[in-house]
Structures are given as structure tokens and as C-alpha cells.
């Protein structure tokens, strides 16, 4: 044959070449250039030897073997370098002509096929999937490499149907033999799940499919797949476990738990929901709020749901729900959207807790508190009125005692009237305290805000106490810093009251030494006057200090008995100081005297 004239060179879609025994082509058709990019001369110059991928060189030599004359070699696969630097998989079929030292070759580009094969292999590996086929005419079995891997066997070990069946565990074998028979005889395809075992005895759940290939209505090949579905089963188990756990949690919760789809249909409802509605899950699921609740409640729920879906934010609500039996229950609910991976709302979940009892308790408590407050206020008002009423006759008694004292009296009479006058005075003091306290309690205490001379006011207060100081032989001194302004705005009477109480207490609880009043100006953001009353008296124990300004409190009962008093003075002073916008504090140690400090803003 004269190859120069060979027409196959021109009509073939494959690469055709005549190559010398030294791998140098003698003649090439134009498909080579199309496939590899090189022109004929370039390939001849480079020779095939230099175009083979270096990694494929040895395997190529192995595939070629020792050439002998007339030998036809098929399916030699290797990679060749293209002009653009990439590689293509080629598959060679050739015949050797040793006499002329030539090789006649037809070469196919199998790059695409190689890629598909690789994808198929990898996909099967990932899916743990293998395929099988039986040529029914010859009863020969073929297992794919992947299937052999699944069974941990060598492909050579399976050629007869019996070989394949013998791998299967008894139960699976009985099932598959029957299915295979039906497939072979009647073309009944199957898709079953069973447990298989590898040759090493490892059990695995598997999905097995069988199908038939027909030609002219005669089944010629049975084929199918086997897939290891351990992962799927594992996931199914985890999901089932999670579902059971969730159901258990839902149903054991004392709260009502539910999930609604975007159309407002219940897709999940807890046991408490069933109890509340007196309906089974089947009667609740798929229903909307309008099917289950009174219209007023359904409307409110739906409006609320829409807001959650729109804002994607959880909501807390507290509302009353009308039940089928006509009763009402109070619920506190937390509703929240369920989002998919992209952040879209896919459902709406809620947890509602019955707070009917708590609510009733709270309402009753509030009512009781209001009633108690009203009662206390009424009592305080009564006290305020009563002490006011007592003051009028008291003043008459005191006035009359004064008048009596001025009239001619013998010694005894004078001393009786003096006692009467003193007792009345002290009674008036007590009544005044009760009046102030009640006024404060019932919110009737109103302070004046007018300018008054500070030094003058202080002097008048102290004058009233001087006699007492002299009686007890105590030093009573007042120091007013000169930067203290003389005119201040406020309620002079009430300031006097606080001073008399504190200085009076100082004198009362001091047996020897002094009581000092100091007034200074504290220049701060809001300037304040600071009043300090310091005595050298009996002092106050630490545990009593905390409750000192509490009303009715008197330091120590034995002391009280000795000194008398109502225990209202300090609490009234504290209220007054605070009403003036200031603060009162105390520092004291038993046996070392006490120091009371109070402040009053200069420009309240």
C-alpha cells in the first residue's frame, strides 16, 4: 500500500500517523495540528518522544512492550504536550510493520472522557456508590472498582453470579436473590435497603437498585448500583433523636409552645396547647388562630405575627385569652421568627406561659397596697386634724396658766401653776411634733420660700435654748463663717425647728462640756450652707446610727426613759432638710459625743 496516497489520512476525524521505530513521525494528517497546535514539521522535528508528558514516559514504554512484526497494539494511553503548554490525553491503536520499520497509528483525543471518568469515579467515591452488571447471555458479572472497594474485595474474585451472591449476608442474599430472579425473568426493577457486609465482616446499611436493559423486548443485561448509606442513616438517626428530644421537651414544658408557618397555620403544637384548647394535635395542626381562638384574640395574634415577620425581631406580649369554655386566662408570650440560612423568615415560633394566678395575685397585692396607703393617709390626716384641734384648747390652758402666774398666788399655788405651765409646754411640743409628722405623711407639708436674715434667725433659735444650757452648765456656742451671706431664701421657721431639735438634742444628751453650732459656706456647683451641731455628750452606738432618722425611733429605751421625747424630732428634721433640698448625716461614737451635719442649698 502506498501510504502517500492513503485517503484515510484526509477523511479521518482522528489523528492518523505513520511513525518510524524511533518515534519520529514520517507522515501526519492535519487533525494533529488541530488537536495539539503544532504543525507537522514541528512534530517531526520534536519527535513524539519529546512530546510525551515526562510522568507518562515509563508507563508508555510498559504499555508498548517488545514490538514484533504485524502486532496490533490497542489502547496505549498517555499525555502529549500541546503548543500552548497544556496536555491532552491520547489513546493509540497501531500496527507494527517491522520490515519497513514503521508504525501505522490511529490516535484519539480522550481528554474529555478522562475528565468525565474522573468525575464519575470521585462522585461514586463520595456517594460511596458502586455499580454492577450481569451479562445475561453469559451469566457473567461485572463489579465496578468502586463496588469492589465497598465490599473490600478484588475485582477478580467476582465473575459468576454465585460469586456475587456469596458475598452477601444470609438475609440480604435471600432478599436479593428473589429480586434478581424477578428482574431477570420479568424485568421487575427494584430499589431496596438492607444490611450488607464487607469481606472483612464490617456491616453497613446499603441501598441496592436493580434495572434491566432490553433489546427487542429481551432482557440482555441486568445492572444496578449498591450504595453504602451509613452516613444517611446516621444523619437520619441524629435527626430522629433531635426530633424526639425536641418533642419531649415541648411536651414536658409547662408552657405552651407552637410554631406557625407564614400563612399562620400551626405546624407544631406542644402538649400544653392541646390541654388548653381541649383538642388533639391533629385538630390543631394546619389550623389558624381564627379556627382556634375568639376573633378578638385571633386578630391580635395575627397582627402581632405580621409585625414579627416584618421586623424579624422577637416580641414579648402579655394578654388575656378567651377560652372555649368562656373563661379568660392571662398569658405572657415570647414570640420570635425562625430564619433560614439566608436570613429569610420561614416560620414563627412562640412560647406562652399561663400567668393567670400570678396576675390575680399581683392585682390583689396592688389593691391591698393602695388600700393600705389610703388608710395610712386617712390616719395621718386624722392625726393632723386632731393635733391641730388639741392645740387650740392647749393654747388656752397655757394662756390661762400665764395669767394665773401673774395674779397674786401663795407659794404652793404658784408651784402648782408652774408645773401646769411646764407640763402644758411639753405637751404642746409633743403635739407640734405629731402635727408636723402627720403633715409630712399626708403630703400636706408645704415650705415657704422667702428671703430672711440668717444670723437673726439663728440667734433667736439659740436664745430659746440658752436657759437649758445654763441649767446644765454647758457651753453653747455659735460660729458663723463670715462668707456666709446674711440674707437667704427659704423657710425660716422650719430652719429654726431643725436647729432647735438638733441643738436641743445636743444639750439633752450631754451632761458636761459643750454644744457647738457652726455654719459655713460650701462653694460647689450648687453652693450650700453647711450646719454642724457638735456635742460632747453620750454619743450613739454604731448599730443605732443606721436607724436614727427613722420615725418613732429612740436610741436606747433606758436613755429614753431618762431623757424623755417622742422619737419624732430627727425624722421630722430629716424630712424638712430634704424638703429644703439638702441632706442630713450623723457621725458619733458612744461616750465621745455626736456630730450632726445638714446642708441647705443657698438658692433653692
Q: Give the residues lining the site for ligand ADP (CB under 6 A).
A: 501, 505-506, 509, 535, 537-540, 548, 553-556, 559-560, 565-570, 594
Q: How far is the CB of 544 from ligand ADP (least distance, A)?
A: 7
Q: How far is the CB of 467 from ligand ADP (least distance, A)?
A: 18
Q: Closer to ligand ADP at the Cβ: 442 or 501?
A: 501
The x, y and z cell numbers of residue 415, run together, are 408651784
Q: How many CB atoms lie within 10 A of CB 580?
A: 21
Q: Closer to ligand ADP at the Cβ: 250 or 509?
A: 509
Q: Closer to ligand ADP at the Cβ: 330 or 505?
A: 505
Across the strands, what pairs with 256? Answer: 352
Q: How far is the CB of 387 from ligand ADP (least distance, A)?
A: 15
Q: How far is the CB of 593 from ligand ADP (least distance, A)?
A: 7
Q: Residue 417: which region, alpha, beta or left (left: phi > 0; alpha: psi -120 to 50)? A: alpha
Q: How many CB atoms lie within 10 A of CB 262?
A: 14
Q: Closer to ligand ADP at the Cβ: 60 or 566?
A: 566
Q: How far is the CB of 504 from ligand ADP (least distance, A)?
A: 8
Q: Closer to ligand ADP at the Cβ: 51 or 580?
A: 580
Q: How far is the CB of 370 from ligand ADP (least distance, A)?
A: 30
Q: Closer to ligand ADP at the Cβ: 216 or 557?
A: 557
Q: How far is Cα 41 from Cα 51, in angstroms, rounded to an integer?
A: 14
Number of residue whose CB is nearest ligand ADP: 555
Q: Closer to ligand ADP at the Cβ: 166 or 550?
A: 550
Q: How far is the CB of 576 from ligand ADP (least distance, A)?
A: 12
Q: How far is Cα 289 from Cα 294, in angstroms, rounded to an integer?
A: 8
Q: How far is the CB of 425 from ligand ADP (least distance, A)?
A: 15
Q: How far is the CB of 589 from ligand ADP (least distance, A)?
A: 10
The x, y and z cell numbers of residue 91, run together, are 489513546
Q: How many CA atoms lie within 13 A of 371 on its CB side?
A: 6
Q: How far is Cα 103 from Cα 370, in angstroms, rounded to an integer?
A: 114
The x, y and z cell numbers of residue 217, run together, are 423486548
Asked if 36 and 82 count as a contact pair (C-beta separation under 8 A), the reply is yes
Q: How far is the CB of 493 from ligand ADP (least distance, A)?
A: 18
Q: Where are the alpha helices (DSSP H) in 410-556?
A: 411-441, 454-471, 492-508, 542-545
Q: Closer to ligand ADP at the Cβ: 227 or 573?
A: 573
Q: Closer to ligand ADP at the Cβ: 91 or 538?
A: 538
Q: How far is the CB of 497 from ligand ADP (least distance, A)?
A: 11
Residue 296 Cα distances to 130, 188, 303, angstroms: 61, 59, 11
For residue 168, what is the DSSP state? S
What sign does the dihedral 164-117-223-140 (CA atoms) show? negative
Helical packing angle, 492-508 and 454-471, nearest 10°: 20
| Longest Cα–Cα distance in the chain | 176
Q: Closer to ligand ADP at the Cβ: 210 or 537?
A: 537
Q: How far is the CB of 372 from ligand ADP (least distance, A)?
A: 25
3-state secondary structure 499-540: HHHHHHHHHHCCCCCEEEEEEEEECCCCCEEEEEEEECCCCC
Q: Closer to ligand ADP at the Cβ: 232 or 559?
A: 559
Residue 458 Cα distances to 433, 454, 483, 495, 581, angstroms: 20, 6, 16, 9, 19
Q: Closer to ligand ADP at the Cβ: 345 or 586?
A: 586
Q: Closer to ligand ADP at the Cβ: 15 or 517?
A: 517
Q: Residue 581: which region, alpha, beta or left (left: phi > 0; alpha: psi -120 to 50)? A: left
Residue 138 has φ and ψ, to the nearest 5°, of -105, -5
Q: How far is the CB of 328 from ligand ADP (least distance, A)?
A: 51
At 294, is the secondary structure helix, strand, or coil?
A: coil
At 169, is the secondary structure helix, strand, or coil?
A: coil
Asked if 150 and 132 count as a contact pair (C-beta separation under 8 A), the reply is no
Amino acid at each position: 500500500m502506498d501510504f502517500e496516497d492513503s485517503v484515510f489520512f484526509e477523511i479521518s476525524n482522528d489523528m492518523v500517523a505513520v511513525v518510524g521505530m524511533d518515534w519520529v513521525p514520517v507522515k501526519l494528517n492535519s487533525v494533529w495540528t488541530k488537536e495539539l497546535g503544532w504543525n507537522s514539521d514541528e512534530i517531526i522535528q520534536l519527535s513524539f518522544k519529546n512530546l510525551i508528558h515526562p510522568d507518562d514516559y515509563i508507563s508508555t514504554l510498559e504499555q508498548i512492550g517488545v514490538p514484533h512484526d504485524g502486532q496490533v497494539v490497542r489502547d496505549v494511553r498517555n499525555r502529549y504536550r500541546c503548543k500552548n503548554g497544556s496536555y491532552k490525553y491520547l489513546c493509540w491503536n497501531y500496527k507494527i510493520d517491522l520490515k519497513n520499520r514503521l508504525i501505522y497509528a490511529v490516535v484519539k483525543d480522550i481528554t474529555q472522557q478522562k475528565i468525565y471518568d474522573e468525575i464519575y469515579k470521585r462522585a461514586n467515591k463520595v456517594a460511596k456508590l458502586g455499580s454492577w452488571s450481569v451479562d445475561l447471555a453469559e451469566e457473567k458479572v461485572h463489579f465496578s472498582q468502586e463496588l469492589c472497594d465497598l465490599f473490600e474485595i478484588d475485582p477478580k474474585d467476582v465473575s459468576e453470579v454465585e460469586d456475587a451472591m456469596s458475598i452477601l449476608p444470609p438475609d440480604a442474599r435471600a432478599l436479593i436473590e428473589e429480586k434478581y430472579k424477578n428482574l431477570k425473568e420479568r424485568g421487575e426493577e427494584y430499589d431496596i435497603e438492607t444490611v450488607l457486609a464487607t469481606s472483612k465482616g464490617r456491616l453497613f446499611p446499603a441501598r441496592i437498585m436493580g434495572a434491566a436493559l432490553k433489546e427487542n423486548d429481551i432482557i440482555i443485561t441486568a445492572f444496578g448500583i449498591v450504595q453504602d448509606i451509613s452516613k444517611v442513616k446516621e444523619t437520619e438517626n441524629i435527626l430522629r433523636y433531635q426530633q424526639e428530644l425536641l418533642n419531649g421537651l415541648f411536651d414536658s414544658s409547662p408552657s405552651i409552645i407552637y410554631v406557625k408557618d407564614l400563612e399562620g397555620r400551626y405546624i407544631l403544637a406542644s402538649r400544653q396547647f392541646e390541654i388548653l384548647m381541649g383538642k388533639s394535635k391533629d385538630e390543631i395542626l394546619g389550623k389558624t388562630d381564627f379556627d382556634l381562638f375568639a376573633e378578638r384574640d385571633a386578630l391580635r395574634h395575627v397582627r402581632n405575627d405580621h409585625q414579627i415577620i416584618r421586623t424579624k425581631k422577637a416580641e414579648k406580649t402579655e394578654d388575656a385569652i378567651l377560652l372555649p369554655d368562656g373563661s379568660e386566662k392571662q398569658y405572657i408570650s415570647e414570640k420570635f421568627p425562625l430564619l433560614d440560612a439566608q436570613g429569610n423568615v420561614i416560620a414563627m415560633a412562640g412560647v406562652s406561659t399561663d400567668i393567670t394566678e400570678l396576675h390575680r395575685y399581683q392585682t390583689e397585692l396592688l389593691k391591698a397596697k393602695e388600700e393600705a396607703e389610703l388608710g395610712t393617709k386617712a390616719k395621718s390626716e386624722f392625726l393632723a386634724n386632731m393635733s391641730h384641734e388639741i392645740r387650740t384648747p392647749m393654747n388656752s390652758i397655757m394662756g390661762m396658766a400665764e395669767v394665773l402666774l401673774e395674779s397674786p398666788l401663795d407659794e404652793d399655788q404658784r408651784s402648782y401653776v408652774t408645773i401646769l405651765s411646764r407640763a402644758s409646754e411639753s405637751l404642746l411640743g409633743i403635739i407640734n411634733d405629731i402635727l408636723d409628722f402627720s403633715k409630712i405623711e399626708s403630703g400636706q407639708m408645704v415650705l415657704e420660700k422667702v428671703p430672711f436674715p440668717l444670723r437673726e434667725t439663728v440667734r433667736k433659735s439659740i436664745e430659746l435654748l440658752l436657759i437649758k444650757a445654763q441649767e446644765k452648765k454647758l457651753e453653747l456656742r455659735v460660729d458663723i463663717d463670715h462668707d456666709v451671706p446674711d440674707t437667704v431664701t427659704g423657710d425660716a421657721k422650719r430652719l429654726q425647728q431643725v436647729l432647735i431639735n438638733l441643738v436641743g438634742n445636743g444639750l439633752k444628751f450631754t451632761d458636761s462640756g459643750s454644744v457647738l453650732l457652726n455654719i459655713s459656706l460650701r462653694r460647689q456647683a450648687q453652693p450650700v450652707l453647711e450646719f454642724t451641731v457638735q456635742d460632747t455628750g453620750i454619743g450613739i452606738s454604731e448599730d443605732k446610727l443606721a436607724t436614727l432618722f427613722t420615725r418613732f425611733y429612740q436610741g436606747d429605751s433606758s436613755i429614753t426613759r431618762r431623757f424623755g421625747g417622742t422619737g419624732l424630732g430627727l425624722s421630722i428634721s430629716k424630712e424638712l432638710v430634704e424638703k429644703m433640698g439638702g441632706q442630713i448625716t450623723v457621725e458619733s461614737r458612744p461616750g465621745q459625743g455626736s456630730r450632726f451635719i445638714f446642708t441647705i442649698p443657698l438658692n433653692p
